Structure 1
Amino acid sequence: MARHLLRYGALAYLAALLLVPVGMIGYRTFEHGLAPVWEALSSEPARHALWMSLLVTVISVPVNVMFGVVTGLLLARRRMPLRGLVNLLIDLPFAMSPVVIGLALFVLYGRGGWIGDWLVAHGLQVLFALPGMVLATVFVSLPFVVREVVPVLEELGTEQEQAAEMLGSGPLRTFFSITLPALRWALVYGVVLSSARALGEYGAVSIVSGNVVGQTQTLPLYVEERFRNFDTTGSYSAGFLLAAISLAILAAMSLLNRRKEHR
């Protein structure tokens, strides 16, 4: 009896905490039918915000994949100096508020910053433009690929790679024929998690983007801007779209996990 009570109590708690709020967003979104939702999402600012979110994600995720693979190889295959410090820096986005990350980038790349004046003098704009938004997104989603890759590399060991090298395989051929195939599921999980984090990022991007409608506004920023302007249909519609994308990513994770277990 106590076991069932604990189980159903946990399910009820999760439902109240997660399912009910998301369900309310869905209800509020379609409260007046599909036409207002379509009108809100097909508007030029909404379409541009979605495009900007996808563009930032498409740029930042491959950067983190390359960084994650290289850093994972260094941590798992080499005697890396200051290994503890490197691990600490990788996990920093988990512990630090995204707003603080945005402020740090602003101090670094803004006018009067360490390299901000040099960038302005050479006509290079980082803040309030796509480069700053990508930098912020790369920073906040940096740990996911690394933390998926390192355990797999440590479990894999080096026996197969050493055998390939003894048979005359070069480093690049060994990597692409032995190491990379073994990392495929870790990379898939890292890409999915990084994409979800990049699409939903608000705090750091809000600092460095300027939140200019139709220029540097991502979909999370669009939700906040519409809500502040009392456009409930626009904010609920965009919020529901973000929730739907998140649920699709979660479903993809579950499907991939099942396929992995059946292999």
Structure 2
Amino acid sequence: MAKYPLRILALVYLLFLLVLPVGLVIWRTFEHGLQRVVDTLTSANATHAFAVTISVAIWAVLANTLFGVLAALLLVRHRFAGRRLFGALIDLPLAVSPVVVGLALILVYGKFAPAGGWLERHGLQIIFSLPGMVLATIFVSLPLVVRAIVPVLEEMGDEQEQAAHTLGASRWQAFRRITIPGIRAALGYGVVLCLARALGEYGAVAVVSGRLVGQTQTATLFVEERYQNYDQTAAFATATALALIAIVILLITKLLRPKEDA
């Protein structure tokens, strides 16, 4: 008998926490008609903000995918001094506030910091430009791919890879034909999580970007800037677009996943 009250409690919880807020945002987006939404999303500042967001997200996902696979293999397949510390450092972004991350990046790569000053003298500006935004996004989404792959690698074991080695397969051949197919679903899940996190990142990017309209403004920063300037239609329309992009990414990943991995 207790299952029905628990179901009702869960549904009510989701209703007030998720359905009503998101539904209200969508309703406010279209309350003045579709044409106004289209005009808002096709404006120069909005399209530039989405272009910056996509660029930052792509670079962050690529970097974290490569690092995630290598780090997961290192954690599962190897035993070395400092392994637990290495795992703890990977999880650090989950515990540190994104604002702290942005401040730390400024202290290291800012114009008046030793590393940042040296880079700027050689023509590479990190803070208040795209590289700094990419670094901030990489940091906050760092653990997602790793933690999606590690449990699958542990469950797989290395017996098949060892057997492939005994039959003459190289490490690359074993990795390509055994490891990658085995972690494919987990890797896809981690990439989706990383992409969703990168698209929606605000705190760290807000600190290192400078929030320059038409230059270093991402879609999330555009939402805040438009809302503070009382352009609620633009803010709600952009927020809805970000939510729809995340949903489409999840659906595409689900459709492309092989049936045996579904």
Match runs of 1:109-258 below 5 Å: 109-252=109-252
Amino acid in structure 2 at the alignment position of 1:49: A
Provide structure 1 residue ranges, at least 5 long, that are not aligned to the other structure: none
Q: In 2, Cα distance between the equivalents of 1:44 and 1:177?
A: 46
Contact 1:161 1:174 in 2 (8 A): yes
Q: Identify the residue that residue 70 of structure 1 maps to in structure 2.
A: 70
Deviations 1:96-135 (A, max 9, x none): 1111100000110002224112112222101111111110
Q: Identify the residue that residue 48 of structure 1 maps to in structure 2.
A: 48
Q: Secondary structure at the match of 2:81?
A: coil
Q: Secondary structure at the match of 1:183?
A: helix
Amino acid in structure 1 at the alignment position of 2:214: G
Q: Secondary structure at the match of 1:230?
A: coil
Compute the displacement of 1:232 (Å): 0.6
Contact 2:192 2:249 in 1 (8 A): yes
Q: In 2, Cα distance between the equivalents of 1:255 and 1:168?
A: 36
TM-score by length of 2: 0.95
Compute the displacement of 1:250 (Å): 4.4
Deviations 1:195-237 (A, max 9, x none): 0000000000011111111111110000000011110111011
Query: Runs ≥4 in structure 1, deviation > 6 angstroms?
Result: none
Contact 1:107 1:114 in 2 (8 A): no
Compute the displacement of 1:254 (Å): 6.0
Q: Secondary structure at the match of 2:214?
A: coil
Deviations 1:139-183 (A, max 9, x none): 111101100111111111111111111111111111111111111
Q: In 2, Cα distance between the equivalents of 1:208 and 1:40?
A: 26
Q: In 2, Cα distance between the equivalents of 1:191 and 1:52?
A: 19
TM-score by length of 1: 0.95
Amino acid in structure 2 at the alignment position of 1:223: V
Structure 1 172/85 Cα, relative in aligned 2: closer, same or farther at 3 Å?
same
Contact 2:185 2:261 in 1 (8 A): no
Q: In 1, Cα distance between the equivalents of 2:19 and 2:260?
A: 27
Amino acid in structure 2 at the alignment position of 1:83: R
Contact 1:68 1:145 in 2 (8 A): yes
Contact 2:111 2:127 in 1 (8 A): no
Provide structure 2 residue ranges, at least 5 long, that are not aligned to the other structure: none
Amino acid in structure 1 at the alignment position of 2:159: E
Matched-pair identity in %:
53
Compute the displacement of 1:260 (Å): 4.7
Q: Identify the residue that residue 106 of structure 1 maps to in structure 2.
A: 106
Q: Identify the residue that residue 22 of structure 1 maps to in structure 2.
A: 22
> How many residues were matched structurally?
262
Q: Secondary structure at the match of 2:79?
A: coil
Amino acid in structure 2 at the alignment position of 1:237: A
Q: In 2, Cα distance between the equivalents of 1:101 and 1:191?
A: 21
Structure 1 126/143 Cα, relative in aligned 2: closer, same or farther at 3 Å?
same
RMSD in angstroms over aligned alpha carbons? 1.6
Q: Secondary structure at the match of 1:115?
A: helix
